[in-house]
Amino acid sequence: MLRSARSLLTILAITAVVAACGPSQTAAPSGAPAAPAGAPTYGGTVTIPIVADPTLNPWSPNAFVESLFVNRILFDGLTKPGKDLAPAADLAQSWTTSADGLSWTFKLRSGVKWSDGQPFSADDVAFTFNDIVLKPDLGAQNRGNFSAVKSVTAVDPTTVRFDLSRKFSALASYLAYNAGIVPKHVLQADPLKTNSFNKGTPVSTGPYKVEKYTSGQSVSLVRNDSYFGPKPYLDRVVFTVVPDANTQIAQALSGDISIMILDDKAAVSRVKSSTDLAVVSRPLVQYYWLALNQTDPRFTDVKVRQAFVQAIDRKAIIDSVEHGYGSVANSAITPALKAYYDPSLSSKYPYDPEAAKKLLGQAGWTPGPNGVLQKDGKPFQFTMDVGQKGILEPVNALIQQDLKKVGVVADLNPMEWNAYIQKVVVQRNYTATVNWWTYPSDPDVFPYYASSAAGKGFNIPGYKDPKLDDLLTQGQTAADLAQRKAVYKQVQSYMADTLPYLFLWYPEEVDVVSSSLKGVPDLGLRDAVQYIGEWWLAKK
């Protein structure tokens, strides 16, 4: 009762604001959230759940996934992901590359101000990179993405030049990925550990600025009056800290949450039954994989890897664990990267246990007395380390059963997440494990596959292949889009043949959106927040 009375009050309040804003009284018919059927109106509050207190500094090593949302609204980068995911202008208006590809010059928007009224300039960009990202002892988040950058120079207040040590055609895309520019005049003394900034009211350039940070409860944002772009429609954007997934869903159902990512796809049918909520889904720049440690001689044989990928019923994993939201993967380039993705590979390895057995036989594995394959008298048995997070546990259980059907014994070793990372990623002390990669909206996946990253970087299986290295380097140095497309088509088919990781599937993101929320672009929610100035609330 309390609640409904209060939401009635809210509606009245919103109506009052809308009325005060003049003649824009045309009621918006409810429909798909992205279709601005009525004219946008000013006012209202949008509430988005996050799972923990955010750290409001895009470069802090403590800025975990819950911080992304907020930081992407607060801190503009030089570029941002366009609605087609290609890099688009943000703080930079345009950019050019030198003939040798080793120097990029960005022309900055003029007249931009920080939320405290101070002018923004090329010095802030140079500071962000030279004094934070490129300082090895700070260990800034995502600094690995900019390993090609040598230095950044402020040529004049609105021009900035990036000097590279090698060609890096993905630079503009990477600058759109969690690379917000932070204010030199505030963070000069302590770039990553200024608490009044990270956990308080940071100085920022985005359409909204922090109004209040309440630890353990919420971070509320209000319009930034010094924002360079058009005035955003919403009065407030509130991030509430709700760690429990069920509680998030309960709050969405009770109308306390405007928009959220539904990690828990099992609840889709329940959410769909609510008339106040819409459910939308779209591919992510993400893929799940099974890494087979290449220091284990059993897994260096490509026939074994190809056999495994046919033994695992990936479609069944998508249908059960992901409730159908995903598609089978055979390379690292995801369907979200429409310009590069090669759909013809999707049917390369259908589920076929018989073919898998045959391949394993060719690799010298023959059935033993109890149906378990063996070679030189040793059974095909190994341990899969399972990180206890998200859907990894049921996925591993399914893979274990699928492998059992072709005579391979995989023992599951579930581990608490932190200990799992220590064992698998830091020590590389594992035989097989399932996980996923999310990467910037660009097909340059060099860091995850390069031989030089085997054993210490992001190359988890420790796969080394000079031909793949060469292809990926060609992608980084490609002169134009047509050439890049051609290179990454080759990369995909070569990956599908050689299976450096066993590609499992490309997941889709499912978003739950209040039907009164309009103007949200058709992007993953973490990208769509970069267009929050276009969001608006229709009168109910």
Partner 1 sequence: MIVFVSALTFFFVNLAPGGPASVMRFDVTAEQRDALIHEMGLDRPVVERYADWLGGALRGDLGTSLLTNEPVAQRIADRLPNTLLLAGAALLLSIVVGIPMGVLQAVRRNSWLDHALTALSALGLSVPVFWLGIVLILLFAVTWHVLPSAGIASVGKDSLGDRLAHLVLPASVLASTVLPTVVRFTRSSMVDVLVQDYLRTATSKGLAPAAVVFGHGLRNALIPVTSAIGALAPRLLGGTVVTEAVFSWPGMGRLALEAANGRDYPLVVGVAVVVAAIAVVSSLIVDLVVARLDPRVVG
Partner 2 sequence: MSRIAVLSAIVLVAVVACAVAGPLVWRVDPIATDPAHALAAPSAAHPAGTDEIGRDVLSRLLYGAQLTLLVGLAAMLAALVLGTFVGAVAGFYGGWVDALLMRLTDAMLAVPAFFLILVVVTVAGTGASTLVLVIGGLSWMPVARVVYGETRRWRVAEFVVAAESLGATAARVLARHILPQAVPSLIVSATLGVAYAILTESAVSYLGLGIRPPTPSWGNMLQQAQQYLFTEPSLALYPGAAITVVVLAFNFLGDGLRDALDPRTRTRR
The footprint of partner 1 (CB under 8 A) covers: 1-4, 6, 45, 47, 52-53, 55, 60-62, 64, 136-140, 142-144, 193, 195, 198-199, 215-218, 220, 236, 238, 240-244, 246-247, 250-251, 253-254, 256, 416-419, 421-423, 425-426, 435, 456-458
Question: Pick from partner 1, partner 2, none: which does 215 bind, CB < 5 to 8 A by kind?
Answer: partner 1
Minimum CB–partner distance for residue 400 and partner 2 (Å):
8
Minimum CB–partner distance for residue 204 and partner 1 (Å):
19
Question: Pick from partner 1, partner 2, none: which does 264 bind, CB < 5 to 8 A by kind?
Answer: partner 2
Complex with partner 1: residue 89 or 421, whichever CB lies closer = 421
Residues present in the chain in total: 540
Q: 480 Cβ partners below 8 Å, 6+ apart?
A: none
At 440, is the secondary structure helix, strand, or coil? coil
Minimum CB–partner distance for residue 226 and partner 1 (Å):
23
Element (H, E) at 87: strand 87-89
CA distances from 372 to 250, 406, 410 (A): 47, 8, 11
Pairing state of beta strands 381-387 and 432-438?
parallel
Question: Pick from partner 1, partner 2, none: which does 136 bind, CB < 5 to 8 A by kind?
Answer: partner 1
Give the span between the Cα atoms of 94 and 109, in whole angstroms. Answer: 9
Q: 141 Cβ partners below 8 Å, 6+ apart?
A: 58, 59, 60, 61, 63, 178
Question: Pick from partner 1, partner 2, none: which does 338 bind, CB < 5 to 8 A by kind?
Answer: none
Question: Pick from partner 1, partner 2, none: which does 266 bind, CB < 5 to 8 A by kind?
Answer: partner 2
Minimum CB–partner distance for residue 260 and partner 2 (Å):
14
Tokens representing 394? 């049921």
Do 420 and 388 contact (CB within 8 A), yes or no?
yes
Question: Pick from partner 1, partner 2, none: which does 267 bind, CB < 5 to 8 A by kind?
Answer: partner 2
Minimum CB–partner distance for residue 246 and partner 2 (Å):
6
Q: Phi, psi at residue 442, to the nearest 5°?
A: -155, 140
Minimum CB–partner distance for residue 272 and partner 1 (Å):
15
Minimum CB–partner distance for residue 388 and partner 2 (Å):
6
Complex with partner 2: residue 293 or 396, whichever CB lies closer = 396
Question: Pick from partner 2, partner 1, none: which does 388 bind, CB < 5 to 8 A by kind?
Answer: partner 2
Question: Pick from partner 2, partner 1, none: which does 297 bind, CB < 5 to 8 A by kind?
Answer: none
Question: Pick from partner 2, partner 1, none: which does 52 bind, CB < 5 to 8 A by kind?
Answer: partner 1
Question: Pick from partner 1, partner 2, none: which does 398 bind, CB < 5 to 8 A by kind?
Answer: partner 2
Minimum CB–partner distance for residue 457 and partner 1 (Å):
6
Minimum CB–partner distance for residue 60 and partner 1 (Å):
8
Instruction: Tally Cβ neighbours within 10 Å of residue 402.
Output: 22
Q: 22 Cβ partners below 8 Å, 6+ apart?
A: none
The strand pairing partners of 381, in sequence order, are 409
Helix axis angle for 466-477 and 481-498, nearest 10°, is 160
Complex with partner 2: residue 175 or 309, whichever CB lies closer = 309
The strand pairing partners of 217, in sequence order, are none
Q: 427 Cβ partners below 8 Å, 6+ apart?
A: none
Minimum CB–partner distance for residue 472 and partner 1 (Å):
17
Complex with partner 2: residue 249 or 445, whichever CB lies closer = 249
Q: Phi, psi at residue 277, to the nearest 5°?
A: -120, 145
Tokens representing 206? 């985005």
Complex with partner 2: residue 321 or 538, whichever CB lies closer = 321
Element (H, E) at 209: strand 208-214
Q: Is residue 216 packed enough to be buried (19+ CB in 10 Å), middle (13-18) or exposed (0-12)?
A: exposed
The footprint of partner 2 (CB under 8 A) covers: 245-246, 249, 264, 266-267, 269-271, 313, 316-317, 319-321, 388, 393-394, 396-398, 400-401, 412, 414-416, 419
Q: 247 Cβ partners below 8 Å, 6+ apart?
A: none
Q: In whole angstroms, how large is the CA radius of gyration of the chain? A: 25
Give the span between the Cα atoms of 391 and 222, in whole angstroms. Answer: 36
Give the span between the Cα atoms of 131 and 192, in whole angstroms. Answer: 10
Complex with partner 2: residue 374 or 400, whichever CB lies closer = 400
Q: Phi, psi at residue 216, to the nearest 5°?
A: 80, -5
Give the span between the Cα atoms of 474 and 487, in whole angstroms. Answer: 7
Question: Pick from partner 2, partner 1, none: which does 94 bind, CB < 5 to 8 A by kind?
Answer: none
Question: Pick from partner 2, partner 1, none: which does 397 bind, CB < 5 to 8 A by kind?
Answer: partner 2
Tokens representing 525? 């929610």
Minimum CB–partner distance for residue 449 and partner 1 (Å):
15
Minimum CB–partner distance for residue 363 and partner 1 (Å):
30
- Residue 232 is classified by DSSP as P
